Amino acid sequence: MRLLCILAALVLAADCANTKQRRFGPAARHTTETPADIAAFQAQSASASSLGLPDVAVAYAAHKGFSVAVTGTVQSPHLDLTHVHLVQTFDGVEIVNAVANANIRTSSSAIHSFTSDFYSGKETDFELIRRHQATNLLDPLPALDAFFDELGLAAPSSAGAAVSKHPQGLLGKRAFPPAEALPGQRPFRRTPDFEIILPSSAVMSAFGPSAAPSGPIAVPATLKYLRTDLNELVPVWDFEVDLGNNYYNAHVDARADKTSKHKRTLALVDWVSENYFDAEAPKNNDEGEIVYERIVERVSYRGKDAKQKLHGKFKKGKKGDKVELYQKQKVKHHHHEKQAAFVMDDAVSEEKDESSLIQGVYNVYPLGTNDPLEGDRNLVKGPLSLVASPNGWHWCSGNKKQCPHGNYTVTVGNNVFAQENLDGSYNGWENKKRPDGTAKLIFDTPVDLTQDPETYVDAAVINLFYWNNAVHDLFYVYGFDEVSGNFQDSNLGRGGLGGDSVIANAQDGSGHNNANFATPPDGSHGRMRMYVWDVTTPWRDGDFEGGIIMHEYAHGISTRLTGGPANSGCLGFGEAGGMGEGWGDFFSTALRMPSDASRDIEFGMGDYANGGKGIRRFKYSTNNETNPSVYSFVQKPAYWGVHAKGEVWAEILYEVYWNFVDTHGFNADWFDSPLSHAGDALLQQSQSNTYQEFSTGRTRTRKSVTWPTATKNSLPKSNDPYPLGGNVLILQLVVDGLKLQPCSPSFVDARDAIITAEDLLTGGKNKCLIWKGFAKRGLGVGAISGGFDSFKLPKECL
């Protein structure tokens, strides 16, 4: 029996479910400004209404005595809010975990709320820091060596490393992008101080070579400050280390006078989030605690020999080359032999006019059909939103190096590059095998699930391509757009940073029985790796379980929206990291809901891939006997990992979901979002009289909406049904809550953000539906962060 890593969890706040995924750092110290303080500032600042909205947030921070820089601005037009994200600076240098979220009324420039984690040292402390650190800083390369050593990497990073220095002076005055009135037009990004080029030999980890890239990697290194748990300000090297299965953002102590015994890595976030599961059934210990002990291993899928048998000979793909990736083979349910080969020039559509739209047709398990056990594949069309994807799913011109042609006939587009990755490689995804839909963009590839997954890898890629695009389009109409940090190669002139479409690998050979998603800051590719599962015979493919794909993509949504798209460290560990997992499960469960379902229905996660056993402790259910989860569970040793915490958060949201559906009904048209009716002019213009039904792909007539008042954002009585349906309303409020909540939120913070979103959208008419769901699971009025239950309701909800 393996020892539980209890000590590591206590010391590092690590998720022990996977020894490679380490996350720790100083605890958040949220300060929420009182309405009285905000009102006093507004009264003293008569000119605030003439300032740009980011400048209002900067002025308020200055009013409180803090120097800050704007890292991003995001809008919620249906709430009349602009979310301004700030980072505190000292002598122009970022204090990496001293951030703030200001929610400002767009129409009036009035501050609605302001929550910060600022460092509050005295001026004498600053002078001591200046004098001490002028000559006492560690160079970046030995600091990176120390990080590698503490992480357990086998080879020293300095072996053959090259370091290039940016001309900016260290810890000197730096110019930040000026705050602008129009959100997202000049996104925050600063050139690193150094770039360290590491040879592949330097990143071969103790966990095995499959975890590391096969070639040199570049590690950006930027000198910043970190506020510690002792409220000290420490200079740190901010490293971004992409090892493939892990994408570490490390903050390493840069003080040169610390001894070798001193632990230098002070904070660590892994931008890769995994859908970790325990294949073994849970066991109860003597105290009735649920204990999971299995640690998932990573192995190459089928090994090198199997790869050679499947692939045969092939040569490196260059423009114009024919890359033979499959031998000729007979496929069941197909009337002729088909040779799968990808010619890069042939993958370019004959339709060169970028303004024209070619609708694709895809034979997939569509949104609403979670997996092969829930329904059949159907031929569906894409895109699902002409606002989110106005040029279709196969147009791509944001990154000329990766997609030099405008239109493609393979699974490439502005939102996602989908391909097989059977060999598990980190590099070379651009020229991997992709199915070709020809000029008509018809992707109809047969599947025989009685065979091994590699025999239907083309169909898996198509399914993965469809789901990534469908989720992109769906969440766009709920507010995950370009300025908010969504994943697109070209942002179409709508703000934010482009060049960050999702790199989605089907049947990735770097692991099995899992899936993961990497979310670096806006402007860098999201990366999804889907694996096969060896629990059944034959093995099953996670690419055919939509809930797993949705869970992984949700990491990108929640990470980019919490704390702003420039900050990928807000859901790193603790309760915040747990909710990062929980939002994924909630979105996955809600979107597979049948239109005729009742609150008695129960759902597992990963049931198909894992052979019916599921990958969570309990099914999601409103029945306390089926799922006994309450907030205090997060204190249990078995719940120290982020995935276990996430199960509790998802169950709480599931309760709230059913309160909304029971009250307001179910709308089968998930694209009929509140945002598309209130506030977003672009989405309003796109409203048509029809929509595509998820599970069948059929075109349905959209029902006309009758609003009970002239103001769409409010309802006259609490018992009036919300015109769009309870499911779309609660999904909108959960997404809005992500934008409203602070960086590193607790369960209580996230609950309050959803309640605030409801108050802004529907005037508090539905707040008791939210409170009753939260209170049933221990997150009532008196709940205290850290897992202290309260089942109390507000008086008005009794």
Please give the pLDDT value at position 694. Answer: 66
pLDDT for res 129 = 72
pLDDT, position 269: 92
* 644 belongs to a structural domain: yes
Joined together, the tokens standing for residue 332 give: 């069941």
Q: Give a yes or no: residue 318 inside a domain.
A: no
Q: Cα separation of 574 and 642, whole Å?
A: 7
621 and 673, same domain (yes or no)? yes
449 three-class SS: coil
Instruction: Evaluate whether residue 77 is within a structural domain.
Output: yes
357-378 confidence digits (pLDDT tens): 668 999 999 999 999 999 999 9
Considering only residues 564 and 679, tell me which one the structure prediction assigns the higher pLDDT: 564
| Same domain (yes/no): 66, 158 | no
Q: Which has more pLDDT, 504 or 356?
A: 504
Structure tokens at 101: 């979220």
How many other CB atoms are there within 10 angstroms of residue 60's CB atom? 26
Mean model confidence pLDDT for the chain: 79
Ramachandran quadrant class, 378 (left: phi over 0; alpha: psi -120 to 50; beta: rest): beta
- Exposure string of 749-787, with b = 16+ CB inside 10 Å and e = fewer, is bbbbbbbbbbbbbbebbbbbbbbbbbbbbbbbeebebeb
Q: Are residues 151 and 255 in the same domain?
A: yes
Average pLDDT value for residue range 4-32:
55
- At residue 680, the pLDDT reads 57
Q: Which amino acid is at 161?
A: A
In a domain, 23, yes or no: no
Annotation-wise, does 430 bind a ligand? no
Confidence band, pLDDT 50/70/90 cuts, at residue 704 = low
CATH value at residue 393: 3.10.170.10
Q: Can you give the C-alpha Rg of the chain in angstroms?
A: 26
Q: Among the ranges 37-51, 208-222, 536-550, 677-691, which has the highest mean pLDDT value?
A: 536-550
CA angle (652, 653, 654) in 5-degree steps: 90
Give the contacts of 700 (CB within 8 A, at least 6 positions apart): 668, 669, 690, 691, 692, 693
272: β partners: 518
Q: Do residues 489 and 396 lie in contact, with contact meaning Cβ atoms separated by under 8 Å?
A: yes
pLDDT at 22: 78
User: Do 134 and 211 have their domain in common?
Assistant: yes
> What is the predicted pLDDT for the residue at 715?
43
Indicate the SS3 state at residue 116.
strand
What's the confidence (pLDDT) of residue 133?
63
**The two structure tokens encoding residue 736:** 């809005």
| 757 and 733 assigned to the same domain | yes
In the predicted model, is pLDDT for residue 25 greater than 80? yes
Residue of 106, 23, 100, 112 lying closest to 65 (CA atoms): 100
Distance CA 66, CA 114 (A): 13
Tell me the two tokens of residue 362: 């895809």
On whether both 136 and 265 belong to a single domain, the answer is yes
For residue 581, give the CATH number of its domain: 1.10.390.10
> Does residue 351 form part of some domain?
no
30 is in an annotated binding site: no
For residues 781 and 686, state if they share a domain.
yes
Looking at the structure, tell me whether residues 667 and 783 fall in a common domain: yes
Q: From CA 191, how far away is CA 565, in angstroms rounded?
A: 17
Whether residues 687 and 769 fall in one domain:
yes
Is 282 within the bounds of a domain? no
CATH code at 75?
A: 3.10.450
The enclosing H or E element of 89 equals: strand 81-90
- The predicted structure's pLDDT at residue 255: 86
- pLDDT tens digit string along 105-146? 999 999 999 999 999 877 667 767 776 665 678 888 888 888
Judge if 116 and 134 occupy the same domain: no
Segment 193-202 mean pLDDT: 68
Tell me, yes or no, whether 201 lies in a domain: yes
Type of residue found at 306? A
Co-location of 653 and 789 in the same domain? yes
pLDDT over 70 at 306, yes or no: no
Residue 132 pLDDT: 64
What ranges in 631-746 are assigned the alpha helix state H?
642-664, 674-677, 681-686, 726-740
As annotated, the active-site residues are: 552
Q: For residue 329, tell me if it sits in a domain.
A: no
Query: CA separation (Å) from 103 to 74, 556, 678?
Result: 10, 22, 18
Residue 161 has a pLDDT of 61
pLDDT digits (tens, 9 = 90+) for 223-276: 899 999 988 888 899 999 888 888 999 999 988 877 666 788 999 999 988 765
Burial code of 2-14, b = ≥16 C-beta within 10 A, e = fewer? eeebeebbeebbb
Question: For the chain, what is the domain count?
Answer: 4
pLDDT for the residue numbered 618: 95
Query: β-strand 699-701 against 290-291: which pairing, if any?
Result: unpaired
CA pair distance 423, 418, nearest whole angstrom: 15
Phi, psi dihedrals of residue 760, rounded to the nearest 5°: -75, -35
Strands 416-420 and 502-506: parallel
Full residue range of the structural domain in which residue 606 is found: 570-704+720-797
Per-residue pLDDT reduced to its tens digit, 535-594:
999 999 999 999 999 999 999 999 999 999 999 999 988 999 999 999 999 999 999 999
Q: 216-229: buried (b, 16+ CB within 10 Å) or exposed (e) per residue?
A: bbebbbbbbbbbbe
Residue 555 known to bind ligand: yes
CA distance 395 to 490: 10
Both 264 and 377 in one domain: the answer is no
